[in-house]
Structure 1
Amino acid sequence: MSCVPVVDHSGICANCGKHESDIIKLKNCTACRFVKYCGVDCQRAHRKQHKKACRRRVAELKDEQLYSQGRERPEGDFCSICTLPIPLPMSDLSVVNACCMKRICKGCSVAAQLRGMDDCPFCRTPFPDTDADVLAMIQARVAKKDPAAINYLGEKYFHGRLGLQKDMQRVIELYNEAAELGSTNALFNFGNLYYLGDGVEKNTAKGVEFYEKAAMRGHVVSRHNLGISEVQKGNYDRAVRHLLISAKMGFKDSLETMKQLFMTGQATKAQYAEALKGYQDAVEEMKSHDRDEAKRLGY
């Protein structure tokens, strides 16, 4: 019997052709969910015929998720005070205070300073004086199972900061715990570790898996990195699909890469125009008077 995908509502066993009834209950192929079987024996008998179509359908389902999810920036990408999305790269244009682990854009941070506030603009906790005090604040948040704090502490161990010795075993433990608690940044950090071989044995495939998980949660740089990975493989159609998403989320590097692909004939004029318009719209959404003032003052 040929392996022709059976639509989900047909109620026919893909191997023997039996129809579903009150007596015969069919179950979907657990991988592709595209064909049905009346039992394990039929599924096994049909496996050789179905394998190729099954793998193709699984890949299609994965792509549907990969390109449809994570097209909006997550809550953590928005300033905790003005609630606007933070310009990219966020590490250059925002601060995270150890007291509350809230990310605050440079505009709101500078505005608070200009108003004479010398404590955290979000929770009003006085700023710590020493690295030891900063570390104590982070560890207090870690003890409360704050995923942002756990990931943040992992980053400090990775770079050997705040008086900590670089410890890759501890880094992986913390990133893993943070990821399990929902930290998208921890997934991105894992992606960097394996894709670049930075402190661990290089494994680009594993790195891509972590980038994909982070990208589907809206992590912009992970999405961009997936695009770059596809460019390096020569998969330009897939690269453009990723880069369009990250450019529209306001990442200039993605727009620049789209421009290069357009100039070399790997992306169309329409695709580059779409990326440019989306990028400009995202940048406009991130503007504020306080951010402009911070930039004017050199912050």
Structure 2
Amino acid sequence: MTIKTGFWAETQLYWRSGVLELDDDRDRTAAEGDFCPICTLLIPLPQGKHSSFYGCCMKRVCDGCVVAARKRGLYDCPFCRTPIPDNDADSLVMIHARVAKKDPTAMYHHGGHYWRGTLGLQKDRKKAVELLTEAAELGSIEALFNLGAAYYQGEGVQQDKAKAVEFFERAAKQGHIGSRHNLGCIEAAKGDYERAARHFLISAKLGDKESVENIKRAFMTGCATKEQYAEALKGYQDAVEETKSHDRDEAKSLLLH
């Protein structure tokens, strides 16, 4: 089972005695940022292959809505109508403007560019972690996830798997699918297959195929029940079905990514 990593590659939970308690029925809620802000449908995973991110408004718009906008002759941002920058410098100016206003999403992406050394920035992992930490404090669950991945792998920070779990739990608590999947992997590695399966069931029902495959492997090795696998598969299929639309089907045929 593979941990989902970060840059380098309202859910309700309850706490008791420091252990993340699961409410399987109520946990099937994705984060707000997982939905297209125009059509309001859940964006399929992996999101990078089915949507585009716009630094002007810090919104991720599904390919279906991008194509629909282009059919109307709109080639600017389909959400806020701002012209799309055609160079790194202007893109960075947009991000800086929102970072100055303490926008957590902008801080998260700014940290990502420092992490990778993109948009003309020199790679600086220390600066990236500082920005991610501030973004997380301001409410970015993507920042929480990436901090968790960084601490789990020991990338850019001293490895601290206990701290990584804390970040993943905080993100999962707010509906982050990758964090939920990672918690399942971590529980499985500890040998707690029941809790692992429950984590995977939640992320599978939010459209994560890897979680379904993990439960399938667990079932084949006797670590999960047939009922759990059937529930995960059906939940995944239902989630995928809910992401479909005519515009998205058309976008898929155009191979935007």
| TM-score calculated relative to the size of structure 2 | 0.89
User: Judging changes above 3 Å, is the alpha-carbon distance between structure 1 residues 69 and 188 closer, same or farther for their aligned structure 2 residues?
Assistant: farther
Moved over 6 A (4+): 66-69
Cα distance in structure 2, aligned partners of 1:203 and 1:62: 18
User: 1:66: Cα distance to partner?
Assistant: 7.7
Residue matched to 2:242: 285
CA offset at residue 70 of structure 1? 4.5
Query: Conserved in 2, the CA contact under 8 Å of 1:70 and 1:215?
Result: no
Distance in 2 separating the partners of 1:115 and 1:298: 19
Match of 1:179 in 2: 136
Alignment of 1:76-95 (within 5 A): 76-95=33-52
Instruction: Please say if 1:107 is aligned against 2:107.
Output: no
Instruction: Please state how far the C-alpha of 1:68 moved relative to its aligned partner.
Output: 7.5
How many residues of Structure 1 are paired with residues of Structure 2 in the alignment? 242
Q: Which residue of 2 aligns with 1:163?
A: 120
Q: Does residue 222 of structure 1 match 2:185?
A: no
After alignment, is 210-219 or 199-208 more displaced? 199-208
Counterpart residue number, 1:246: 203
CA drift at 1:71: 3.0
Given residue 47 of structure 2, which amino acid in structure 1 is its aligned partner?
A: M
Is 1:237 matched up with 2:212? no
Contact persistence 1:65–1:216 (CA under 8 A): no
Q: Which has the larger radius of gyration?
A: 1
Are the equivalent residues in 2 in contact too, given 1:190–1:210 (CA < 8 A)?
yes
Structure 1: gaps (5+ residues): 1-57
Deviation at 1:264, TM superposition (A): 0.9
**Mapped contact 1:223–1:243 kept (Cα < 8 A):** yes
Partner SS state of residue 61, structure 2: strand
Normalised by the size of structure 1, how large is the TM-score?
0.77
Q: Distance in 1 between matches of 2:91 and 2:208?
A: 31
Residues 90-145 of structure 1, C-alpha deviations (whole Å, 9 max, x = no match) = 12211111111111011111222233212111111111011000000011111111
Aligned CA-pair RMSD: 1.7
Q: 168-177 vs 120-129, which deviates more?
A: 168-177
Residue 209 of structure 1 aligns with an amino acid whose one-letter code is E
Higher relative contact order (CA 8 A, sep 6+): 2
Preserved contact between residue 224 and residue 246 of structure 1 (Cα < 8 Å): yes
- Higher alpha-carbon deviation: 109-118 or 134-143: 109-118
Q: Percent identity?
A: 61
| CA apart distance, 1:209 | 1.1
Q: In structure 2, the residue corresponding to 1:121 is in which secondary structure?
A: coil
